[in-house]
Amino acid sequence: MRTFTIIWLGQLVSTIGTYMTEFALIIWAWELTGSATALALVGFFSQLPRIPITLFAGIIVDCFNRKRLMLLGDAIAALSTIAILLLYLTDNLQIWHLYLTSAVNGSFGQIQQLAYSTSIAMIVPQQHYTRASSMGSMVHYGSAIFAPALAGSLYPVVGLLGILLIDLTTFTVAIATLVAVNIPQPSRPDADQQVLETLTFGLRYIWNHRGLRALLVTTAIFWFAHDLGGAIYDPMILARTDGSAQVLGSVAASAGIGGVTGAVIISVWGGSQRRTDGMLLGFIGAGLSKTVFGLGRTTFVWIPAQFCSSLNFPLLSSAETALWMANVAPEKQGRVFAANALVLQIVSAIAIFIAGPLADRVFEPAMSPGGIATILGGIFSSSSGSGMAVLYVITAISLFLVGCGGFAYRELQELEPIKPNRDNHTI
Protein backbone atom coordinates (compact mmCIF):
# COMPACT_ATOMS: atom_id res chain seq x y z
CA MET A 1 0.00 0.00 0.00
CA ARG A 2 3.04 2.34 0.27
CA THR A 3 3.14 3.25 -3.42
CA PHE A 4 -0.61 3.80 -3.49
CA THR A 5 -0.44 6.00 -0.39
CA ILE A 6 2.23 8.26 -1.93
CA ILE A 7 0.17 8.72 -5.09
CA TRP A 8 -2.94 9.25 -2.99
CA LEU A 9 -1.33 12.05 -0.97
CA GLY A 10 -0.27 13.88 -4.12
CA GLN A 11 -3.74 13.62 -5.62
CA LEU A 12 -5.28 14.86 -2.36
CA VAL A 13 -3.18 18.04 -2.35
CA SER A 14 -3.80 18.65 -6.06
CA THR A 15 -7.54 18.12 -5.76
CA ILE A 16 -7.78 20.64 -2.92
CA GLY A 17 -6.27 23.26 -5.21
CA THR A 18 -8.56 22.30 -8.08
CA TYR A 19 -11.67 22.47 -5.89
CA MET A 20 -10.64 25.88 -4.58
CA THR A 21 -10.50 27.17 -8.15
CA GLU A 22 -13.82 25.53 -9.05
CA PHE A 23 -15.51 27.06 -6.00
CA ALA A 24 -14.24 30.54 -6.82
CA LEU A 25 -15.28 30.23 -10.47
CA ILE A 26 -18.79 29.07 -9.50
CA ILE A 27 -19.31 32.25 -7.49
CA TRP A 28 -17.86 34.33 -10.32
CA ALA A 29 -20.14 32.68 -12.93
CA TRP A 30 -23.28 33.02 -10.78
CA GLU A 31 -22.61 36.70 -10.15
CA LEU A 32 -22.14 37.17 -13.90
CA THR A 33 -25.19 35.23 -15.14
CA GLY A 34 -27.55 34.27 -12.29
CA SER A 35 -28.52 31.28 -14.45
CA ALA A 36 -28.78 27.60 -13.51
CA THR A 37 -28.32 26.71 -17.17
CA ALA A 38 -25.01 28.60 -17.37
CA LEU A 39 -23.61 26.73 -14.37
CA ALA A 40 -24.94 23.37 -15.58
CA LEU A 41 -23.30 23.89 -18.97
CA VAL A 42 -19.88 24.01 -17.29
CA GLY A 43 -20.51 20.45 -16.13
CA PHE A 44 -21.99 19.48 -19.48
CA PHE A 45 -18.95 20.61 -21.45
CA SER A 46 -16.76 18.74 -18.99
CA GLN A 47 -18.70 15.54 -19.65
CA LEU A 48 -19.32 15.87 -23.40
CA PRO A 49 -15.75 15.25 -24.68
CA ARG A 50 -15.36 12.34 -22.30
CA ILE A 51 -17.77 10.33 -24.45
CA PRO A 52 -15.61 10.04 -27.61
CA ILE A 53 -12.41 9.99 -25.54
CA THR A 54 -13.72 7.04 -23.54
CA LEU A 55 -14.06 5.01 -26.75
CA PHE A 56 -10.28 4.98 -27.01
CA ALA A 57 -9.35 5.49 -23.35
CA GLY A 58 -9.44 1.79 -22.54
CA ILE A 59 -7.10 0.95 -25.42
CA ILE A 60 -4.78 3.81 -24.48
CA VAL A 61 -4.63 2.80 -20.82
CA ASP A 62 -4.09 -0.89 -21.59
CA CYS A 63 -1.39 -0.19 -24.21
CA PHE A 64 0.55 2.77 -22.78
CA ASN A 65 2.40 3.51 -19.55
CA ARG A 66 -0.24 4.40 -16.96
CA LYS A 67 2.09 6.52 -14.86
CA ARG A 68 2.89 8.73 -17.84
CA LEU A 69 -0.80 9.07 -18.65
CA MET A 70 -1.48 10.30 -15.11
CA LEU A 71 1.38 12.79 -15.42
CA LEU A 72 -0.07 14.02 -18.72
CA GLY A 73 -3.47 14.57 -17.12
CA ASP A 74 -1.98 16.68 -14.32
CA ALA A 75 0.08 18.70 -16.81
CA ILE A 76 -2.93 19.50 -19.02
CA ALA A 77 -4.99 20.54 -15.99
CA ALA A 78 -2.18 22.87 -14.92
CA LEU A 79 -2.05 24.43 -18.40
CA SER A 80 -5.81 25.03 -18.27
CA THR A 81 -5.42 26.85 -14.96
CA ILE A 82 -2.64 28.96 -16.48
CA ALA A 83 -4.95 29.86 -19.38
CA ILE A 84 -7.69 31.02 -17.00
CA LEU A 85 -5.10 32.96 -15.01
CA LEU A 86 -3.85 34.83 -18.09
CA LEU A 87 -7.39 35.63 -19.25
CA TYR A 88 -8.24 36.95 -15.81
CA LEU A 89 -5.10 39.08 -15.62
CA THR A 90 -5.91 40.66 -18.99
CA ASP A 91 -9.57 41.22 -17.99
CA ASN A 92 -10.77 38.96 -20.81
CA LEU A 93 -12.24 36.05 -18.83
CA GLN A 94 -15.75 35.13 -20.01
CA ILE A 95 -18.19 32.32 -19.22
CA TRP A 96 -17.45 30.49 -22.48
CA HIS A 97 -13.81 30.23 -21.49
CA LEU A 98 -14.93 28.04 -18.60
CA TYR A 99 -16.81 25.81 -21.04
CA LEU A 100 -13.67 25.46 -23.15
CA THR A 101 -11.29 24.67 -20.30
CA SER A 102 -13.84 22.27 -18.82
CA ALA A 103 -13.92 20.41 -22.14
CA VAL A 104 -10.12 20.18 -22.28
CA ASN A 105 -9.83 19.00 -18.68
CA GLY A 106 -12.68 16.54 -19.19
CA SER A 107 -10.93 14.99 -22.18
CA PHE A 108 -7.58 14.35 -20.54
CA GLY A 109 -9.05 13.88 -17.08
CA GLN A 110 -10.99 10.86 -18.31
CA ILE A 111 -7.79 9.11 -19.40
CA GLN A 112 -6.03 10.11 -16.18
CA GLN A 113 -8.84 8.78 -13.99
CA LEU A 114 -8.95 5.50 -15.89
CA ALA A 115 -5.17 5.12 -15.65
CA TYR A 116 -5.39 5.75 -11.89
CA SER A 117 -8.26 3.33 -11.24
CA THR A 118 -6.71 0.52 -13.29
CA SER A 119 -3.34 0.99 -11.56
CA ILE A 120 -4.86 0.14 -8.19
CA ALA A 121 -5.01 -3.57 -9.01
CA MET A 122 -1.28 -3.49 -9.83
CA ILE A 123 -0.12 -1.87 -6.58
CA VAL A 124 -2.73 -2.96 -4.01
CA PRO A 125 -3.49 -6.55 -2.85
CA GLN A 126 -6.99 -7.73 -3.75
CA GLN A 127 -8.12 -7.91 -0.12
CA HIS A 128 -7.49 -4.16 0.14
CA TYR A 129 -9.42 -3.10 -2.99
CA THR A 130 -12.37 -1.72 -1.01
CA ARG A 131 -10.05 0.09 1.39
CA ALA A 132 -8.07 1.64 -1.47
CA SER A 133 -11.29 2.71 -3.17
CA SER A 134 -12.55 4.35 0.01
CA MET A 135 -9.24 6.21 0.34
CA GLY A 136 -9.88 7.45 -3.18
CA SER A 137 -13.22 8.78 -1.96
CA MET A 138 -11.35 10.63 0.79
CA VAL A 139 -9.50 12.61 -1.89
CA HIS A 140 -12.80 14.02 -3.12
CA TYR A 141 -14.46 14.53 0.24
CA GLY A 142 -11.35 15.71 2.06
CA SER A 143 -10.90 18.34 -0.60
CA ALA A 144 -14.56 19.25 -0.27
CA ILE A 145 -13.95 20.08 3.41
CA PHE A 146 -10.87 22.23 3.07
CA ALA A 147 -11.28 23.78 -0.38
CA PRO A 148 -14.52 25.74 0.23
CA ALA A 149 -13.32 26.91 3.64
CA LEU A 150 -9.93 27.98 2.30
CA ALA A 151 -11.35 29.55 -0.86
CA GLY A 152 -14.07 31.36 1.07
CA SER A 153 -11.61 32.86 3.55
CA LEU A 154 -8.78 33.58 1.10
CA TYR A 155 -10.83 34.94 -1.80
CA PRO A 156 -11.49 38.34 -0.18
CA VAL A 157 -7.76 38.62 0.61
CA VAL A 158 -5.94 37.20 -2.42
CA GLY A 159 -8.75 37.18 -4.98
CA LEU A 160 -9.12 34.80 -7.90
CA LEU A 161 -5.48 35.43 -8.83
CA GLY A 162 -4.18 34.10 -5.54
CA ILE A 163 -6.39 31.02 -5.63
CA LEU A 164 -5.28 30.18 -9.16
CA LEU A 165 -1.64 30.44 -8.06
CA ILE A 166 -2.34 28.10 -5.14
CA ASP A 167 -3.91 25.66 -7.58
CA LEU A 168 -0.79 25.68 -9.75
CA THR A 169 1.39 25.02 -6.70
CA THR A 170 -0.65 21.96 -5.76
CA PHE A 171 -0.22 20.52 -9.25
CA THR A 172 3.55 20.44 -8.72
CA VAL A 173 3.03 18.30 -5.61
CA ALA A 174 0.90 15.78 -7.53
CA ILE A 175 3.43 15.57 -10.35
CA ALA A 176 6.33 15.15 -7.90
CA THR A 177 4.67 12.23 -6.10
CA LEU A 178 3.98 10.45 -9.38
CA VAL A 179 7.57 10.90 -10.52
CA ALA A 180 8.82 9.43 -7.23
CA VAL A 181 7.03 6.05 -7.48
CA ASN A 182 7.07 3.01 -9.74
CA ILE A 183 3.78 1.63 -11.08
CA PRO A 184 3.98 -1.91 -12.53
CA GLN A 185 2.41 -2.38 -15.96
CA PRO A 186 0.12 -5.31 -16.86
CA SER A 187 0.69 -7.47 -19.90
CA ARG A 188 -0.39 -5.70 -23.07
CA PRO A 189 -3.32 -6.92 -25.17
CA ASP A 190 -2.77 -8.69 -28.48
CA ALA A 191 -1.41 -6.11 -30.93
CA ASP A 192 -2.98 -7.97 -33.86
CA GLN A 193 -6.50 -7.53 -32.51
CA GLN A 194 -8.70 -5.49 -34.85
CA VAL A 195 -9.38 -1.89 -33.82
CA LEU A 196 -13.16 -2.25 -33.93
CA GLU A 197 -12.97 -5.46 -31.94
CA THR A 198 -10.76 -3.74 -29.38
CA LEU A 199 -13.07 -0.73 -29.13
CA THR A 200 -16.09 -2.91 -28.47
CA PHE A 201 -14.30 -5.41 -26.22
CA GLY A 202 -15.38 -3.77 -22.97
CA LEU A 203 -19.03 -3.43 -23.97
CA ARG A 204 -19.16 -7.04 -25.18
CA TYR A 205 -17.46 -8.22 -22.00
CA ILE A 206 -20.06 -6.50 -19.83
CA TRP A 207 -22.98 -7.55 -22.03
CA ASN A 208 -21.98 -11.23 -21.85
CA HIS A 209 -21.52 -11.11 -18.07
CA ARG A 210 -25.02 -11.09 -16.58
CA GLY A 211 -23.95 -9.72 -13.24
CA LEU A 212 -21.84 -6.90 -14.66
CA ARG A 213 -24.60 -6.03 -17.12
CA ALA A 214 -27.05 -5.73 -14.24
CA LEU A 215 -24.54 -3.66 -12.29
CA LEU A 216 -24.13 -1.23 -15.18
CA VAL A 217 -27.89 -0.83 -15.69
CA THR A 218 -28.46 -0.17 -11.99
CA THR A 219 -25.65 2.33 -11.60
CA ALA A 220 -26.56 4.11 -14.85
CA ILE A 221 -30.08 4.80 -13.58
CA PHE A 222 -28.74 5.91 -10.21
CA TRP A 223 -26.16 8.31 -11.63
CA PHE A 224 -28.62 9.77 -14.13
CA ALA A 225 -30.91 10.83 -11.30
CA HIS A 226 -27.96 11.88 -9.13
CA ASP A 227 -26.32 14.05 -11.80
CA LEU A 228 -29.63 15.62 -12.79
CA GLY A 229 -30.04 16.81 -9.22
CA GLY A 230 -26.35 17.58 -8.83
CA ALA A 231 -26.38 19.96 -11.80
CA ILE A 232 -28.85 22.27 -10.03
CA TYR A 233 -27.35 21.86 -6.55
CA ASP A 234 -25.19 25.01 -6.54
CA PRO A 235 -27.70 27.33 -8.26
CA MET A 236 -30.47 26.07 -5.96
CA ILE A 237 -28.49 27.02 -2.86
CA LEU A 238 -27.33 30.33 -4.33
CA ALA A 239 -30.87 31.23 -5.43
CA ARG A 240 -32.31 30.45 -1.98
CA THR A 241 -29.60 32.43 -0.15
CA ASP A 242 -29.29 35.49 -2.39
CA GLY A 243 -25.96 34.30 -3.76
CA SER A 244 -24.26 33.64 -0.42
CA ALA A 245 -20.79 32.17 -0.96
CA GLN A 246 -20.51 31.59 2.80
CA VAL A 247 -23.59 29.35 2.89
CA LEU A 248 -22.51 27.44 -0.20
CA GLY A 249 -19.07 26.95 1.32
CA SER A 250 -20.52 25.74 4.62
CA VAL A 251 -22.78 23.22 2.93
CA ALA A 252 -19.93 22.04 0.69
CA ALA A 253 -17.72 21.61 3.75
CA SER A 254 -20.39 19.49 5.44
CA ALA A 255 -20.42 17.30 2.34
CA GLY A 256 -16.68 16.86 2.69
CA ILE A 257 -16.89 16.03 6.38
CA GLY A 258 -19.58 13.45 5.74
CA GLY A 259 -17.63 11.91 2.89
CA VAL A 260 -14.38 11.71 4.84
CA THR A 261 -16.22 10.20 7.80
CA GLY A 262 -17.73 7.56 5.54
CA ALA A 263 -14.39 6.88 3.87
CA VAL A 264 -12.63 6.47 7.23
CA ILE A 265 -15.33 4.05 8.36
CA ILE A 266 -14.92 1.99 5.19
CA SER A 267 -11.11 2.13 5.41
CA VAL A 268 -11.18 0.73 8.95
CA TRP A 269 -14.15 -1.61 8.51
CA GLY A 270 -13.36 -2.81 4.99
CA GLY A 271 -16.96 -2.60 3.79
CA SER A 272 -19.90 -4.98 3.64
CA GLN A 273 -19.06 -8.62 2.93
CA ARG A 274 -21.78 -8.56 0.27
CA ARG A 275 -20.70 -5.60 -1.81
CA THR A 276 -23.98 -5.41 -3.71
CA ASP A 277 -25.79 -4.89 -0.41
CA GLY A 278 -23.35 -2.16 0.60
CA MET A 279 -23.87 -0.37 -2.71
CA LEU A 280 -27.67 -0.56 -2.61
CA LEU A 281 -27.89 0.52 1.03
CA GLY A 282 -25.73 3.49 0.05
CA PHE A 283 -28.20 4.33 -2.73
CA ILE A 284 -31.09 4.24 -0.27
CA GLY A 285 -29.30 6.32 2.36
CA ALA A 286 -28.27 8.93 -0.20
CA GLY A 287 -31.81 9.16 -1.57
CA LEU A 288 -33.37 9.69 1.85
CA SER A 289 -30.81 12.29 2.89
CA LYS A 290 -31.11 14.24 -0.36
CA THR A 291 -34.89 14.26 -0.06
CA VAL A 292 -34.59 15.96 3.33
CA PHE A 293 -32.02 18.36 1.86
CA GLY A 294 -34.35 19.39 -0.96
CA LEU A 295 -37.18 20.02 1.48
CA GLY A 296 -34.97 22.28 3.61
CA ARG A 297 -34.57 26.03 3.21
CA THR A 298 -31.83 26.87 5.70
CA THR A 299 -28.41 25.65 6.80
CA PHE A 300 -30.00 24.10 9.89
CA VAL A 301 -31.46 21.46 7.57
CA TRP A 302 -28.97 21.54 4.71
CA ILE A 303 -25.78 20.95 6.70
CA PRO A 304 -26.85 17.79 8.60
CA ALA A 305 -28.74 16.44 5.57
CA GLN A 306 -25.72 16.96 3.33
CA PHE A 307 -23.46 15.33 5.91
CA CYS A 308 -25.70 12.26 6.00
CA SER A 309 -25.96 12.16 2.21
CA SER A 310 -22.20 12.28 1.67
CA LEU A 311 -21.67 9.68 4.39
CA ASN A 312 -23.21 7.13 2.01
CA PHE A 313 -21.09 7.75 -1.07
CA PRO A 314 -17.83 6.11 0.07
CA LEU A 315 -19.92 3.07 0.97
CA LEU A 316 -21.67 2.83 -2.39
CA SER A 317 -18.75 3.90 -4.59
CA SER A 318 -16.16 1.67 -2.90
CA ALA A 319 -18.51 -1.31 -3.09
CA GLU A 320 -19.25 -0.63 -6.76
CA THR A 321 -15.57 -0.19 -7.64
CA ALA A 322 -14.61 -3.34 -5.74
CA LEU A 323 -17.24 -5.31 -7.68
CA TRP A 324 -15.72 -4.23 -10.99
CA MET A 325 -12.12 -4.84 -9.90
CA ALA A 326 -12.89 -8.26 -8.46
CA ASN A 327 -14.75 -9.47 -11.56
CA VAL A 328 -12.40 -8.22 -14.28
CA ALA A 329 -8.78 -9.32 -14.78
CA PRO A 330 -6.20 -6.48 -14.53
CA GLU A 331 -5.09 -6.78 -18.17
CA LYS A 332 -8.72 -6.26 -19.28
CA GLN A 333 -9.71 -3.58 -16.79
CA GLY A 334 -8.73 -0.63 -18.97
CA ARG A 335 -11.12 -1.59 -21.76
CA VAL A 336 -13.91 -2.84 -19.49
CA PHE A 337 -13.72 0.11 -17.10
CA ALA A 338 -13.70 2.44 -20.11
CA ALA A 339 -16.88 0.80 -21.43
CA ASN A 340 -18.53 1.29 -18.05
CA ALA A 341 -17.33 4.89 -17.97
CA LEU A 342 -18.59 5.48 -21.52
CA VAL A 343 -22.14 4.50 -20.66
CA LEU A 344 -22.10 6.54 -17.45
CA GLN A 345 -20.62 9.56 -19.25
CA ILE A 346 -23.41 9.49 -21.84
CA VAL A 347 -26.04 9.16 -19.13
CA SER A 348 -24.44 11.95 -17.09
CA ALA A 349 -24.12 14.30 -20.07
CA ILE A 350 -27.81 13.89 -20.91
CA ALA A 351 -28.81 14.52 -17.29
CA ILE A 352 -26.66 17.64 -16.96
CA PHE A 353 -27.75 19.00 -20.35
CA ILE A 354 -31.45 18.85 -19.52
CA ALA A 355 -31.10 19.94 -15.88
CA GLY A 356 -30.57 23.65 -16.52
CA PRO A 357 -33.48 24.13 -18.96
CA LEU A 358 -35.76 22.05 -16.73
CA ALA A 359 -34.88 24.30 -13.79
CA ASP A 360 -34.99 27.67 -15.58
CA ARG A 361 -37.87 27.06 -18.00
CA VAL A 362 -40.11 24.48 -16.33
CA PHE A 363 -39.83 24.14 -12.56
CA GLU A 364 -38.92 27.70 -11.57
CA PRO A 365 -41.79 29.26 -13.59
CA ALA A 366 -44.15 26.53 -12.34
CA MET A 367 -43.40 27.46 -8.72
CA SER A 368 -44.02 31.16 -9.27
CA PRO A 369 -47.20 32.62 -7.72
CA GLY A 370 -50.24 31.26 -9.55
CA GLY A 371 -48.56 28.04 -10.71
CA ILE A 372 -48.26 24.76 -8.82
CA ALA A 373 -47.00 26.85 -5.93
CA THR A 374 -50.62 26.91 -4.75
CA ILE A 375 -50.22 23.17 -4.10
CA LEU A 376 -46.54 22.80 -3.23
CA GLY A 377 -45.78 26.30 -1.95
CA GLY A 378 -46.43 25.30 1.64
CA ILE A 379 -43.68 22.69 1.38
CA PHE A 380 -41.15 24.40 -0.89
CA SER A 381 -42.28 28.08 -0.76
CA SER A 382 -42.65 30.11 -3.95
CA SER A 383 -39.44 32.11 -3.65
CA SER A 384 -36.45 31.96 -5.96
CA GLY A 385 -35.01 28.45 -6.08
CA SER A 386 -38.20 26.66 -5.01
CA GLY A 387 -38.72 25.13 -8.45
CA MET A 388 -35.19 23.75 -8.40
CA ALA A 389 -35.91 22.30 -4.96
CA VAL A 390 -38.94 20.43 -6.35
CA LEU A 391 -36.81 18.97 -9.14
CA TYR A 392 -34.06 18.07 -6.67
CA VAL A 393 -36.50 16.17 -4.44
CA ILE A 394 -37.84 14.24 -7.44
CA THR A 395 -34.31 13.09 -8.30
CA ALA A 396 -33.61 12.21 -4.65
CA ILE A 397 -36.69 9.99 -4.41
CA SER A 398 -35.52 8.28 -7.61
CA LEU A 399 -32.21 7.38 -5.91
CA PHE A 400 -34.12 5.77 -3.05
CA LEU A 401 -36.28 3.75 -5.45
CA VAL A 402 -33.25 2.50 -7.42
CA GLY A 403 -31.68 1.23 -4.19
CA CYS A 404 -34.85 -0.57 -3.14
CA GLY A 405 -35.37 -2.04 -6.60
CA GLY A 406 -31.83 -3.39 -6.69
CA PHE A 407 -32.60 -5.90 -3.96
CA ALA A 408 -35.24 -7.44 -6.24
CA TYR A 409 -32.98 -7.43 -9.32
CA ARG A 410 -32.05 -11.10 -9.54
CA GLU A 411 -29.16 -10.74 -11.99
CA LEU A 412 -27.58 -8.09 -9.78
CA GLN A 413 -27.91 -10.24 -6.68
CA GLU A 414 -26.27 -13.14 -8.56
CA LEU A 415 -23.11 -11.05 -9.03
CA GLU A 416 -21.87 -12.47 -5.74
CA PRO A 417 -20.17 -14.61 -4.53
CA ILE A 418 -17.33 -13.08 -6.55
CA LYS A 419 -14.97 -15.18 -8.64
CA PRO A 420 -11.26 -14.26 -8.65
CA ASN A 421 -10.56 -11.46 -11.10
CA ARG A 422 -7.92 -13.46 -12.89
CA ASP A 423 -10.26 -16.13 -14.17
CA ASN A 424 -10.59 -16.66 -17.91
CA HIS A 425 -13.90 -15.03 -18.74
CA THR A 426 -14.67 -15.35 -22.44
CA ILE A 427 -16.42 -12.93 -24.77
Residue 311 lies in a domain: yes
Given a contact cutoff of 8 angstroms between Cβ atoms, the answer to whether 398 and 201 are in contact is no
**Can you give the CATH number for the domain in which 370 is found?**
1.20.1250.20
Whole-number Å distance between alpha carbons of 359 and 355: 6
- Domains in the chain, number: 1
pLDDT digits (tens, 9 = 90+) for 188-213: 665 555 556 666 888 899 999 888 99
Reported pTM: 0.78
What residues in the chain have per-residue pLDDT under 50?
A: 422-426
Q: Is 421 inside any structural domain?
A: no
The predicted-structure confidence for 154-178, as pLDDT tens digits, reads as follows 877 787 888 899 999 988 888 898 8
Ordered DSSP codes for 45-82 = HHHTTHHHHHHHHHHHHHHS-HHHHHHHHHHHHHHHHH
pLDDT of the residue at 159? 79
Peptide bond into 417 cis (omega under 30): yes
Residues 353 and 44 sit within 8 Å (Cβ to Cβ): yes
Residue 423 resides in a domain: no
Q: Round the average pLDDT of the chain to a whole number and report it.
A: 84
Q: What pLDDT sits at residue 422? A: 46
Q: With residue 202 as reference, give the H or E element that holds it.
A: helix 195-207
DSSP 358: I
Cβ-contact 408, 278 below 8 angstroms: no
Neighbours of 3 (CB within 10 A): 17
Range of the domain at 262: 2-183+193-413
- Domain contains 171: yes
**What is residue 57's predicted lDDT score, i.e. its pLDDT?**
72
